[in-house]
Structure 1
Amino acid sequence: MLRRGTFLAGATTVALYLAATVAPAFAAPAVSAPKPPDAMVEALQRDLGLTAEQAVQRLANEQRAAASEAALTKQLGASYAGAWLNADASQLSVATTDAAAAAAISAKGAQPVVVSRSLNDLNALKDKLDGASAEAKAGASLWYVDVASNTVAVNASDQAAGEALIAAAGVDKNAVKVAVTNEKPQTYINLVGGAAYYIGGSRCSIGFSVRRGTAPGFVTAGHCGRAGATTSNPSGSFYGSSFPGNDYAFVSTPGHTPTPYVRGSGGSQVLVRGATRAAVGASICRSGSTTGWRCGTVQQFNATVNYAQGSVSGLTRTNVCAEPGDSGGSFISGNQAQGMTSGGSGNCSSGGTTYFQPVGEVLSAYGLTLVTG
């Protein structure tokens, strides 16, 4: 973690100090935070080891951080290089390639970090990795943009496999870091009966209620079903589905009533108010038909996961656990919809890593409107 007044430039740390004092965490813009649902507070206490007071404070900090990040993303333009929260969400760091923008970042209550690569630069590097051959990607389990280190990260079964992908993609190896891991993400679809909704003998989980015009339905994971596949409980059909490459789908459910809720802890209802993206480091909770309501934090955006069925790009990486049957289920931060469960590794007994498909892409792809309270 960088101390106040320290700037990161690529892999080199350069000590610089601002003349102006950095404001307390997220001093601007002011955002009124509604009382969070008790179920969300209880889950954050359980999964993040917080007190009730700490959970409420964290959610308020995260809401202010989301507003600050949204404003700075527009203000910084092409120099914007990402943002992330510290461990307790008390401080938002915002990266930029323009040292002159530091004062503007501080004015929003965030910690400025000057880096050598913009977010556009990092995304372009990851796009090259996405474009490598299937053979080159075979030894890597995932790759993603890591804004906190201003690099692209590749997780692979061994160092050589990661370096082979980098070489095949023709990217600057100094901009990519390789981590050796045993992690092998898999899609969360279960071929036994249970709650949620069914596609033949398979079970997945509803993401969020949506409408296409006036037609009701829900979004879920693309790997749960192809276009035209029928569902039961609730009855409907897959209007559209994209997997691999993406992992999203829209299920049309005529005759059913969409609601602005996500099932929380103990069957309680969590109200969805919008879809503002949470920052790296923000708390996030997932609802699924196998393991219920589970929470953790956002780790990285724009991850590409290499599933057995093919790679999926643009996913968000979290340390929330999940298990088969949770696929398609909702990820929500505070009262803001984030995305639908795609896959991951581990389980909810020993812990795991789970990836979600951001909800905005499926809304745009099929002309959907999120149902909110």
Structure 2
Amino acid sequence: MSHKRIPKRKAAIAVGGVAALGAAALLLPNANASQSNGDAATPRTFKSNDVSDVASMLASQLGDAFAGSYYDAANKQLVINVVGNNSNVVNQIERAGAVAHQVQNSTADLEAAAKTLRTEASIAGTAWSVDPKTNEIHVTADSTVTGGKWNTVESTVKGLGSGVATLSKSAGTLKTFVDGGDAIFGGNARCSLGFNVTAGDGTPAFLTAGHCGVAAAQWSDAQGGAPIATVDQATFPGAGDFSLVKYDDPATQTNSAVNVGNGQSVQINQAVEAAVGQQVFRMGSTTGLHDGNVTGLNATVNYPEGTVTGLIQTDVCAEPGDSGGSLFTQDGGAVGLTSGGSGDCTAGGETFFQPVTTALAATGATLGAGDAGAGAGDAGAGDAGAGDAGAGDAGAGAGDAGAGGAVDPSASAADPGAGDAVDPSAGADDAAGAGQNGTHHKSRRQHN
């Protein structure tokens, strides 16, 4: 099939200029982690983006004594779970500036329990992940798991032994988030762009949900429009939920920022590993900007389409139309791509995300525009009326990307000048472009 040549375009990052609703915190840069005062017993304070590297180092050093870690956001401390009462292990942890916490279950114990769940309780509507704060596996069953299915899950959890796993019932339905919101289109599917990246061959591309990549090979920025990008790789279900989609025009200029609405954006500086207890922000076309915390890692989710492993579990709310988009930290760390979950932004619930680091490693891509990308000054609003990929967002997503100022999620769309470092006139132009084009690449995944 021949394709119309797409002119050079500027593609804005995942999320469009919808009103930022419900997030209670300001997106402000964190201070750098403080230095140790020399007392090995005095914990350091950490930025949430830094804890995964220290935790990985200690996991390697401690071996079987390491039983997981989490971030104590209130005290900005890294907590390391340990099995046994070995003073040498505790000293190693304290020398690294972390806090040692003695627990019952080893990493091997919890991995064995998860394997049992996978073998005996892989029922659609169930999910589980390790919660290092409780040193247990948290198992969730949605409203469709009833009768014999519920009995199977319940008996399997009880069979794991005391203090190994907990089981809770969700009032919602565990599913991939679908419907609603502005979109990119492929065949009969509608999804959202996640993060712009550079493919291994140096060409511009983006990451999105894997089920989008298996639903359609080519994607447009308008329903029934000419394709602008073609799927290169896709994984779903199985070991993740991600796809790499290459722009058809190798001259496409991309930027690395998340547009959080009101003409404001957060520059994305790096891909970071999630840490339990870490505060994260999710932007979606249906519900806007919301924040919450990472509650589990290496989660297994049994969707109706199949089992997906290796996901991040959070308490950030999401609704149909929010899937496929950006999960990030307040200081510009790319964390994940919205996969699915249960509940909504009224009652709450669990939401699962594909780790960006895993998707990058699997696809060979690198975060950001690389040589193909434009600087913040290159992404003006000149293309806003052209129906480009994220054209309505181009001014906000890229033109403001270098600003790096405070973003006030509670600001209304009618106040495009909200935020300390945002150009009010640029925000107003973007808001107009958003309303006209309706092509914002928001956080979503959808099958129609």
* TM-score normalised by length of structure 1: 0.76
Q: CA deviation at 1:348?
A: 2.6
Equivalent residue of 2:271, what SS? coil
Asked whether the equivalents of residues 186 and 216 of structure 2 are also in contact (C-alpha less than 8 Å), the reply is no
Within 5 Å, which residues of 2 pair with 1:294-313?
294-313=290-309
Q: Deviations over 1:171-220 (max 9, x none)?
A: 73332222233342211122x5x434222343222111112221211111
What one-letter code is carried by the residue in structure 2 that aligns with 1:119? T
Is 1:341–2:326 an aligned residue pair?
no
Within 5 Å, which residues of 2 pair with 1:193-204?
194-204=181-191
Is 1:152–2:137 an aligned residue pair?
yes
Is 1:357–2:384 an aligned residue pair?
no
Aligned counterpart, 1:177: 166
Is 1:189–2:178 an aligned residue pair?
yes
Mapped partners of 2:119, 2:64: distance in 1: 23
Q: Deviations over 1:56-101 (max 9, x none)?
A: 5699642453453343233324432211123525332111225331
Q: Kindly, what percent of the aligned residue pairs are identical?
A: 35
What one-letter code is carried by the residue in structure 2 that aligns with 1:220? T
* Closer, same or farther: CA 97–205 of 1 in aligned 2, 3 Å: same
Using CA pairs under 8 Å that are at least 6 residues apart, name the structure with larger relative contact order, 1 or 2.
Answer: 2
Aligned counterpart, 1:11: none
Equivalent residue of 1:351, what SS? coil
Is 1:65–2:51 an aligned residue pair?
yes
* Aligned-residue CA RMSD (Å): 3.2
Match of 2:127 among 142, 147, 163: 142
Equivalent residue of 1:264, what SS? strand
What one-letter code is carried by the residue in structure 1 that aligns with 2:23? D
Segments of 5+ residues of structure 1 without an aligned counterpart are 1-42
Mapped partners of 1:309, 1:180: distance in 2: 21
Is 1:107–2:95 an aligned residue pair?
yes
Match of 1:206 among 182, 193, 196: 193
Q: CA deviation at 1:258?
A: 2.8
* Closer, same or farther: CA 228–110 of 1 in aligned 2, 3 Å: same
Within 5 Å, which residues of 2 pair with 1:195-274?
195-212=182-199, 213-226=201-214, 229-233=217-221, 235-245=228-238, 246-255=240-249, 256-274=252-270
Is 1:85–2:71 an aligned residue pair?
yes
Q: CA deviation at 1:281?
A: 0.8
Mapped partners of 2:147, 2:305: distance in 1: 23
Mapped partners of 2:243, 2:75: distance in 1: 32
When structure 1 is superposed on structure 2, of 232-241 and 293-302 the one drifting more is 232-241
Q: CA deviation at 1:104?
A: 1.5
Asked whether the equivalents of residues 326 and 336 of structure 2 are also in contact (C-alpha less than 8 Å), the reply is yes
Within 5 Å, which residues of 2 pair with 1:307-322?
307-322=303-318
Asked whether the equivalents of residues 273 and 357 of structure 2 are also in contact (C-alpha less than 8 Å), the reply is no
Equivalent residue of 2:54, what SS? helix
Mapped partners of 1:162, 1:106: distance in 2: 43
Is 1:277–2:273 an aligned residue pair?
yes
Asked whether the equivalents of residues 141 and 184 of structure 1 are also in contact (C-alpha less than 8 Å), the reply is no
* TM-score normalised by length of structure 2: 0.64
The structure richer in strand per residue is: 1
Q: CA deviation at 1:124?
A: 3.8
* Closer, same or farther: CA 228–265 of 1 in aligned 2, 3 Å: closer
Match of 1:47 among 23, 39, 52: 23
Mapped partners of 1:244, 1:371: distance in 2: 26
Equivalent residue of 1:320, what SS? coil
Segments of 5+ residues of structure 2 without an aligned counterpart are 1-19, 34-45, 222-226, 371-448
When structure 1 is superposed on structure 2, of 153-162 and 107-116 the one drifting more is 153-162
* Closer, same or farther: CA 67–328 of 1 in aligned 2, 3 Å: same
Q: How many equivalent residue pairs? A: 324
Aligned counterpart, 1:119: 107
Mapped partners of 1:172, 1:347: distance in 2: 31
Mapped partners of 1:52, 1:229: distance in 2: 36
